[in-house]
Structure 1
Amino acid sequence: MKELRETIHNANLTKTQKMIAKYVLDNSADACFMTSTEIALKLGVSESSVIRFSRSLGYSGFMDFQKALRKDYQGKVLSISSSITVPAQRIAKRAKLENNSDYINRHFKNAAKNLENVFTQNSIQTFEEAADIIIASKRKYIAASRGNTCLSDYFLLYLKQMVPHVALTNTACLSPIDHMCNISKEDCLIIFSFPRYSSIDKITAQMAHDAGASIIVITDKPSALLAQYATILLTVPVDSNAFFNSMIAPQFVSEALLETISHKAKGIEKRLKKIDKYLGELGNY
């Protein structure tokens, strides 16, 4: 993208072309898959203006420009935004990228990028505050749905080994509403929510909010569906080049929060020894 910025900077562009340039630079992940007609409609300009813009940058036409833009996207971004939530649409978008067999390397680079964003989007203090709320709360409810339950199950297991009164809200016979019927302002809700967002998660957060409970929301961006309910908001991207979300960064956030709690909670060693005693009798070693 640096090369494109320099090309645009050095080009003699009209006011309309500068507007097109700004859109392309700010929305390259979308622009490289849009037709000249779609960009024109998006910006309220003529299709010929988009074509002339491409030629002013030295390309033979829009298709030539788009090919270069798409190649840059393939090499530098390596991911499909989680804002595209429908799996079939994600597969279709991936198919437009240059096809090669270097899947694992792309996945690694994408996951590393998501992990880096954890530290740019969240402060250590935010983890500390979330841990303090969880420990101080009388009851701790954990919520998630569909593919996000892998995070809630993991968090449930280890939080239960550190603090008392921890409950998962997604069981087969009961809804979160049933589980949380006694939630109060003394309690907290830890909720994992990533695209595709769930209406049941929204109702769960609303119920906790109405009760005055503290709510720790772990989601992908500040504008996400449940962000408005957050007492503490932890944001982590789940962008991937597959049709499903990448859970590597959210798993890291989950582990980081659990480790923070482990340094603050009291009586963990006693609780773990008791658990280990009975697990040993079951043959778990």
Structure 2
Amino acid sequence: MSALRELINKANLTKTQNVISEFILDHSGKACFMTSTEIALKLGVSESSVIRFSRSLGFAGYSDFQKFLRTDYQKRVSSISNSITNPAQRIIERSKHGADTAYIPNHFKNTLRNLENVFAENTAAIIEKAADDIIACNRKYIVASRGNTGLGDFSLLYLKHMLPGVEGTMSPSAGSLDCLSNISKEDCVIAFSFPRYSLTDKLAVQMAYDIGAKIIVITDKPSASLASYATHLLRAPCDGDTFFNSLVGAQFVTEILLDAISRKVEGIEKRLELIDRYMEETGNF
């Protein structure tokens, strides 16, 4: 998939061709078995647009491009498509492949592929702009739920070490909508969202969007539930062959963002020294 992204990034695509490229990137496992006519009907474009898109990437035509897609798909066959979001169904799908004695190296390959795609999908400029907006905003609200709360808690801890006004919305007694009730356009939301996308998280981000706040979304693809609300969209593929999402890529993006912030903010060492002075008494580091 990284090879396809590289071809697309180098190509000078039209608006219609960009629509086609986004569909294929988001649904490569399905697209490689679709004809050019089927893709055209699915997207409401002409078949000739699909063929021209293939040629713009350097292929002789759509059939040549389709062979490339299928070869790439075979390389990624150990990953369960994230179009299957139900955990039980993912287990069932995995069982169809039989016993996998090489599941550890395959898991490693999936993780490496996700990390490679993080580099392909997020430029330094996007990271820098997101970091600047987080620093400049008055209050920073972190939105995450269920399997994504680990990312949210990690961000909450280390952002509090660097910036004032950092607030979590993961309280068991007050929901995210309650925690965001005082949000203003001078604030920002940092939202972590991966399949199956939470409707509550979407409503929380909708609240922030309607008030005019900045929104930093960390999710898996441009067609994700919260992507359309993003002021800054940071992408982290979560493909894997387990019943849960692989969040190594998302953790990596989060660390890069925190690293960028730490290089722009002064006085962090004073906060850390203050915290450490008291933490030494507890031995809880």
TM range, smaller chain: 0.7 to 0.9
Q: CA RMSD in A?
A: 2.7
> Is 2:146 the partner of 1:157?
no
Task: Render the CA deviation track for 1:25-53: whole Å, top value 9, x for unaligned.
Answer: x9773599x9xxxx9xx899xxxxxxxxx
Task: Render the CA deviation track for 1:103-155: whole Å, top value 9, x for unaligned.
Answer: 11000000000000011111011000010001001000001011000100011
Distance 1:246 1:105 in 2: 15
> Is 2:103 the partner of 1:103?
yes
Secondary structure of the structure 2 residue equivalent to 1:190? strand
Secondary structure of the structure 2 residue equivalent to 1:215? strand
TM-aligned CA deviation for residue 99 of structure 1: 2.7
Distance 1:218 1:115 in 2: 14
TM-aligned CA deviation for residue 84 of structure 1: 1.2
Question: Identity of paired residues, percent?
Answer: 57
**Structure 2 length-normalised TM:** 0.75
- Gapped runs of 5+ residues in structure 1? 1-25, 45-69
Secondary structure of the structure 1 residue equivalent to 2:222? coil
Task: Render the CA deviation track for 1:209-263: whole Å, top value 9, x for unaligned.
Answer: 1111000000010011001110000111100011110011101011110001100
Match of 2:113 in 1: 113
Task: Render the CA deviation track for 1:6-36: whole Å, top value 9, x for unaligned.
Answer: xxxxxxxxxxxxxxxxxxxx9773599x9xx
**Is this contact kept in 2: 1:74–1:98, CA < 8 A?**
no
**Is this contact kept in 2: 1:192–1:217, CA < 8 A?**
yes
> Is 2:130 the partner of 1:130?
yes
Match of 2:257 in 1: 257
- Gapped runs of 5+ residues in structure 2? 1-25, 42-69
Query: Does the C-alpha gap of structure 1 residues 198 and 76 become closer, same or farther in structure 2, counting only changes over 3 Å?
Result: closer
Match of 1:19 in 2: none
After TM superposition, list the pairs within 5 Å mapping 1:161-172 onto structure 2. 161-172=161-172
TM-aligned CA deviation for residue 100 of structure 1: 2.4
TM-aligned CA deviation for residue 101 of structure 1: 1.0
Query: Does the C-alpha gap of structure 1 residues 30 and 243 become closer, same or farther in structure 2, counting only changes over 3 Å?
Result: farther
TM-aligned CA deviation for residue 93 of structure 1: 1.4
**Is this contact kept in 2: 1:151–1:192, CA < 8 A?**
yes
Distance 1:27 1:201 in 2: 24
Match of 1:47 in 2: none
> Is 2:78 the partner of 1:88?
no
Match of 1:3 in 2: none
> Is 2:39 the partner of 1:29?
no
**Is this contact kept in 2: 1:74–1:97, CA < 8 A?**
no
Amino acid at match of 1:91: I
Query: Does the C-alpha gap of structure 1 residues 181 and 241 become closer, same or farther in structure 2, counting only changes over 3 Å?
Result: same
